[in-house]
Structure 1
Amino acid sequence: MSSMANLKTFTRALTVFCLAVLFYFFIPDSLAHLSGLLKYILIIAIIVILMMYNQILGSLSAPQSSAGSDVPDGVPDAVTTQSSTHNLYENLKSLVISTAKSINPDCKSAIYVIDPGKQVFTLQAGKTSEFADSIPLSNTTVKKYINKPKKLHQKDNPNAWTELFFDQTWKGSECAIFSPVTLHGTLAGFVLIRVDHFTDATDREMGILKQLGEFVSFGLENLESLEKHILGEDSKSLILEIVSNLDFKSDAQNIFNQFKYLLRTFFKYDRLTVSLRKDTENRRKLDKGVSSIIKLADGEKDDFVEGSEFPTNGSLHGLPVVSRTSIHTTDWRQSHPNMARFRSSEPDEYAFQSVLASPIIIEGESRGSIVLERVDAQPFSSMDVNDLDLIGQVLGSALRWRYEYKKIYTNATHDGLSGLFNHQTFKERFSDEIQRAARFQQKMAVMIFDLDKFKKVNDTLGHQYGDYVIQTVSKILQDNVRAVDVVARYGGEEFAVILINTTAVMSNMVAQRIVDNIADYEFSMDGVDTRVTISGGMSEYPTHSENTKELIELADQAMYATKQKGGNGIIIHNKDEKTGEQVNPA
């Protein structure tokens, strides 16, 4: 009987009981024998009422099943699982569209997927007011451009353009690119990116946008793999919910923490350890992964915490990585007598017995392990083994997704040569920092640096040497500021630095240290040595201006004033003097 039916029965019984009590108090003394009988009946009724009340409390406080109020009666488990898969697919599409926007704010993007029944590409993501709802599979323009890096220009192909986009008034400067989406090597759709003016997107940005189709392809293949393993198993829908809520823009530790809660839900363990192989600086493939690093530790504490390293070979926690297979034992010391948990020198005070471990597969390669340990010999169930194998695959996919996103994001926001923020990202970060400084009433120092006589380096020593100088100077800049500060390659040999929550005067020491370290550095490549100096200018928010463009211009003017005085120095803009104030001139 449901809790609602119990409640109705209880209400009726309580009403009858109250009427009986009322009748009892009004029985005349002449009917004493009836009064005594009714008294016993009321005592029995009180016991029954209390039992019913206790049953009502139990039914109301009992946890709801997975088919409770959140899922209507008659809805199959597969439907709820498919819903989770659908949410993950929607998140994938949103991530791709937002990534394209972050790469180039002026672009408009859409995702098309093949509908075999209708023989068309159907619009899956993107505004219907800007993109066609469907495009025939026979469309010659799609066939021509989908696998080519070249752009489709509106002015050169007006008729083809109209087939892809709604009939609007076009300027003739618009262009578009296609990025194919594949599933198991077969065309499944494409990402279509449109820019209103071909000069608004550099060739490099267009090349990065071209990679978005690969990201969707990878996501679709992983979704298909998840569905094969999960469909029809209600308990596994939680895995999809966890993955669909992952933020691939955040750091990897956030992903590990999300999976920690998932593992806590699925398994009973005394210790959980997740580790990944560590790629060494040595470029030889065989040397990579000789050690592993712990990314997540939960449960019993020991000497091996997050960030600890251990040898992959010869360790129990490295065995799933090496063997690419799961481990299930109730006494690991007996089943693996020649191995240590992590290191041979570790103490024996943590005497775990039962162990379940699975490899983490990334790009078809065993890259890490998930290890569950119990202090007793209680075995893990066969369902536990299957569940951990699945979670290992899903975690590998999640880490790969984040890697792919990070690769695209880094290419879009960082300069390829120096590794610093590029010009566009610097402007966006500068605007964000201005807003933050205004909100907290803080000051900021803005620096513009330019290498002195850098053209001579390129002309006499070659462009490869010039690239080496740019990379070295970039590292010197980064090494001399805090992690919260912003460093960017502003132009060819020009750099920009924002020092957060500080004044220009307070930043003098940092700026001069940068100038001195570059001047003192012995640049040497292929046996050729040289010296390089740098000139800098500085402005301050909000003292000199509250406008980003003006602050950069003022710092730029101060930098040129430094060059006019011989270079190799730093000058702070002085609003009372056009030449500025020189600090520690060379």
Structure 2
Amino acid sequence: MIRRFKNSNFILSLFLFTIMTAYIVFANDFNFTDSILKSAVLILLFVFLYNNYFIIEKLKFKKSSTQNNFSKNNNIYTTVMKSEFNHLHSEIFTNLNNHINNLNPSSFLSIYFIDLKRSSISIKESNNSSFEKKISLDNDIIKEIQKSKKRKIFKKNDNFAGWKKIVNKNDWSGAEILIGYPIIIDAEIIGFSLIYNEHFKDIENRDLKYFDSIINNYVQNMKFLKDFNNLFDDNSFNNRIFDYFKNFKLDIKVENLFKNIGTLFQQYFKYDRLIISICDINHEKLTVIYVDGKKDDIVKGAEFDINNSIYGESVLSNKSIIFNNAEMDINSHTRDKIFPIVSSPVRLNGKAIGSITIERMNYYKFEIHESLKLEKLSIALGKAFEWSNDFKLIENAAIHDGLTSLLNHNAFLNRLDQEIDRCSRFQTNLGLIMLDLDKFKKINDTYGHLYGDFILKEVGKIIKENVRTIDVVGRFGGEEFSVILVNTNVRDCIPLAKRIVEGINRKTFIFDGIATNLTISAGMSGYPSMSKESKELIKMADDAMYQTKKNGGNDVTIFQS
């Protein structure tokens, strides 16, 4: 209707303009009154046409802006859906899924992206078939997440109708919980991450904080995929980078990250030597971790003072540098004569942690475009470092108890299964110790939970100090601890178990001016003499531990069938 009105205005203005032009051209009689009238009408017509022109231009601009915004969002969507990114995206999702599963095995995860027509969202990755493949953007739960632009929690008994359009389920208990996150890249929502659990009581506050952390990590990695796509204007160069990352794994070791990388550099750079070096923890020395080409005076493992080496220049400045036939005094590990060199920093979270340096010994100068290409490769490798580092940090948080830093319940169970599998393959033994503090509830009730937390941390340290480095220690839950004694017959574990019990008995725990003493009870079982199943071994050790408590505590008992 509005458009029709504006079109009518435009036609009317053209019609009036035609009539007035004809009147001016064909009216030969001249008088002062006619001249004033003609001028007034022409001025009004000009204003009318001028206004109409701006209305039309404004509509064009608005339409153009809308198309550009959609194009921007569409570009992000297209990028993350590209086939070249499938491996990296799958690896990122697998990482995300594993961390959530380690923390809360009863939670299910699904990732959705907004469709090109922007009317619905479609599933990209999921670890459970209960999630619907496509969800309308009009779904009230999705709209609520979209509106808030942050994490939202929905319980089934809340007044939301969209549950059945998200999770395909017939029998609802009313205790179900859904945690939704918008995936925001460059201020645009491109999709949603949904975490579903059958019962809201299975989600603790610490779970939510952890979910926040790993979803944010996922979003940052998705942003990198988008930026990565925009980084390279050379399709051939771009495809070679993707080929290099095809076998990339988040848990890859640093030394394996650079396997076969020489082939990539050789294709795009002419050089006599390629050196990749990484800083030590104090940011004082560089260690060469990869060398390709001339190796007569520099080999893998060589170290350089970061402040007194050409290889440290890009690290110190945190930017790419080019040296062409410069004379410099550097340390004895490198030659006095500096041939053409281009060096770019490898960054972790924006901070230079190493450098990639290319050298020529024929005085053929490096050009700016070569430095830019090396910078792009450095960014890609830096992101690989960042992914691996983030993976280790999140994995560490996922498998360790936040209070004692020991393995948490799920991680300990996984390790027990792994050790049993190893014992089975190599025909060896292991011992399992379950320990539980005696009368710990009284400590908590008398002195408070902060004092109780202090006790738990100190007990964890005592246990850790009394086992071998190859043994595995975990906080099984509450005031209960567990130890796997690797390659040890259960009878041979008794002295070590008694040492732990006696160490805790002798310890006086002092915190906030309060001193107390307590004891611990231990029970033991062994593989394969007692059982070959992890659950049975745990139950046996647990039963033996409770037998110790019945006998007065502060001792060790081996399971007796």
* 1:10 corresponding residue in structure 2: none
Are 2:323 and 1:320 equivalent residues in the alignment?
no
Q: Residue 196 of structure 1 aligns to which amino acid in structure 2?
A: E
Change (3 A) 1:535 1:434: same
- Verify the 8 A CA contact 1:135 1:164 in the aligned structure 2: yes
- Verify the 8 A CA contact 1:179 1:211 in the aligned structure 2: no
Mapped partners of 1:322, 1:315: distance in 2? 10
* 1:174 corresponding residue in structure 2: 176
* 2:415 corresponding residue in structure 1: 429
Mapped partners of 1:468, 1:255: distance in 2? 41
Are 2:535 and 1:549 equivalent residues in the alignment?
yes
Q: Residue 194 of structure 2 aligns to which amino acid in structure 1?
A: L
* Aligned-pair identity (%): 31
CA RMSD after TM alignment: 3.5
- Verify the 8 A CA contact 1:107 1:193 in the aligned structure 2: yes
After superposition, the C-alpha distances for 1:495-532 in whole angstroms (9 at most, x for unaligned) are 11112222112223433343344445565555665555
The structure that is helix-richer by fraction is: 2
Mapped partners of 2:235, 2:350: distance in 1? 25
Identify which range, 222-231 or 370-379, moves more after superposition.
370-379
Provide the secondary structure at the position in 2 that maps to 1:555: helix
* 1:52 corresponding residue in structure 2: none
* 1:296 corresponding residue in structure 2: 289
* 1:49 corresponding residue in structure 2: none
* 1:196 corresponding residue in structure 2: 198
Q: Residue 424 of structure 2 aligns to which amino acid in structure 1?
A: A
After superposition, the C-alpha distances for 1:47-67 in whole angstroms (9 at most, x for unaligned) are xxxxxxxxxxxxxxxxxxxxx
* 2:111 corresponding residue in structure 1: 111
Q: Residue 531 of structure 2 aligns to which amino acid in structure 1?
A: S
Deviation for aligned residue 1:145: 4.3
Mapped partners of 1:316, 1:519: distance in 2? 58
* 1:357 corresponding residue in structure 2: 343
Provide the secondary structure at the position in 2 that maps to 1:151: strand
Are 2:145 and 1:159 equivalent residues in the alignment?
no
* 2:401 corresponding residue in structure 1: 415
Q: Residue 501 of structure 1 aligns to which amino acid in structure 2?
A: N
- Verify the 8 A CA contact 2:156 2:177 in the aligned structure 1: yes
Identify which range, 451-460 or 111-120, moves more after superposition.
451-460
Change (3 A) 1:151 1:236: closer
Q: Residue 545 of structure 2 aligns to which amino acid in structure 1?
A: M
* 1:504 corresponding residue in structure 2: 490
Identify which range, 148-157 or 176-185, moves more after superposition.
148-157
Q: TM-score, normalised by structure 1?
A: 0.71
- Verify the 8 A CA contact 2:109 2:128 in the aligned structure 1: no
Change (3 A) 1:265 1:315: same
After superposition, residues 66-105 of structure 1 pair within 5 angstroms as: 83-105=83-105
Are 2:239 and 1:237 equivalent residues in the alignment?
yes
Mapped partners of 2:137, 2:256: distance in 1? 41
Deviation for aligned residue 1:266: 5.0
Change (3 A) 1:494 1:385: same
Name which of 314, 323, 329 aligns with 2:323: 329
After superposition, the C-alpha distances for 1:194-239 in whole angstroms (9 at most, x for unaligned) are 2233344444334433444323321221112211122443033221
Change (3 A) 1:115 1:449: same
Deviation for aligned residue 1:483: 4.5
Change (3 A) 1:251 1:484: farther
Q: Residue 323 of structure 2 aligns to which amino acid in structure 1?
A: T
After superposition, the C-alpha distances for 1:15-66 in whole angstroms (9 at most, x for unaligned) are xxxxxxxxxxxxxxxxxxxxxxxxxxxxxxxxxxxxxxxxxxxxxxxxxxxx
Change (3 A) 1:545 1:194: same
Aligned residues: 477
Q: Residue 251 of structure 2 aligns to which amino acid in structure 1?
A: K
Q: Residue 276 of structure 2 aligns to which amino acid in structure 1?
A: T
Q: Which runs of 5+ in 2 are unaligned?
A: 1-78
Change (3 A) 1:107 1:559: same
- Verify the 8 A CA contact 2:110 2:128 in the aligned structure 1: no
After superposition, residues 179-258 of structure 1 pair within 5 angstroms as: 179-257=181-259
Provide the secondary structure at the position in 2 that maps to 1:166: coil
Deviation for aligned residue 1:112: 1.2
After superposition, the C-alpha distances for 1:281-324 in whole angstroms (9 at most, x for unaligned) are xxxxxxxx543553723353779854x87654454333222212
After superposition, the C-alpha distances for 1:101-134 in whole angstroms (9 at most, x for unaligned) are 4443333321112235333222222379533333
Mapped partners of 2:257, 2:411: distance in 1? 25
Change (3 A) 1:498 1:376: farther
Q: Residue 523 of structure 2 aligns to which amino acid in structure 1?
A: G
Mapped partners of 1:320, 1:376: distance in 2? 22
Mapped partners of 2:551, 2:303: distance in 1? 52
Name which of 474, 477, 481 aligns with 1:488: 474
After superposition, the C-alpha distances for 1:426-475 in whole angstroms (9 at most, x for unaligned) are 22322333333233332210011223443454455543343233223323
- Verify the 8 A CA contact 2:429 2:488 in the aligned structure 1: yes
Q: Residue 481 of structure 2 aligns to which amino acid in structure 1?
A: F
- Verify the 8 A CA contact 1:145 1:177 in the aligned structure 2: no
After superposition, residues 501-540 of structure 1 pair within 5 angstroms as: 501-519=487-505, 523-525=509-511, 531-540=517-526
- Verify the 8 A CA contact 1:422 1:490 in the aligned structure 2: yes
Deviation for aligned residue 1:191: 0.7
Q: Residue 429 of structure 2 aligns to which amino acid in structure 1?
A: K
Q: Which runs of 5+ in 1 are unaligned?
A: 1-78, 279-288, 341-345, 576-586
Q: TM-score, normalised by structure 2?
A: 0.74
Change (3 A) 1:318 1:466: farther
Change (3 A) 1:350 1:515: farther
Q: Residue 387 of structure 2 aligns to which amino acid in structure 1?
A: W
Mapped partners of 2:261, 2:493: distance in 1? 43
Deviation for aligned residue 1:488: 1.0
Q: Residue 211 of structure 2 aligns to which amino acid in structure 1?
A: L
After superposition, the C-alpha distances for 1:326-367 in whole angstroms (9 at most, x for unaligned) are 1222456x2x43x54xxxxx5567977443321122333333
Mapped partners of 1:250, 1:563: distance in 2? 46
Mapped partners of 2:388, 2:288: distance in 1? 15
Q: Residue 143 of structure 1 aligns to which amino acid in structure 2?
A: K
Change (3 A) 1:142 1:212: farther
Mapped partners of 1:265, 1:559: distance in 2? 64
* 2:382 corresponding residue in structure 1: 396
Mapped partners of 2:312, 2:381: distance in 1? 17
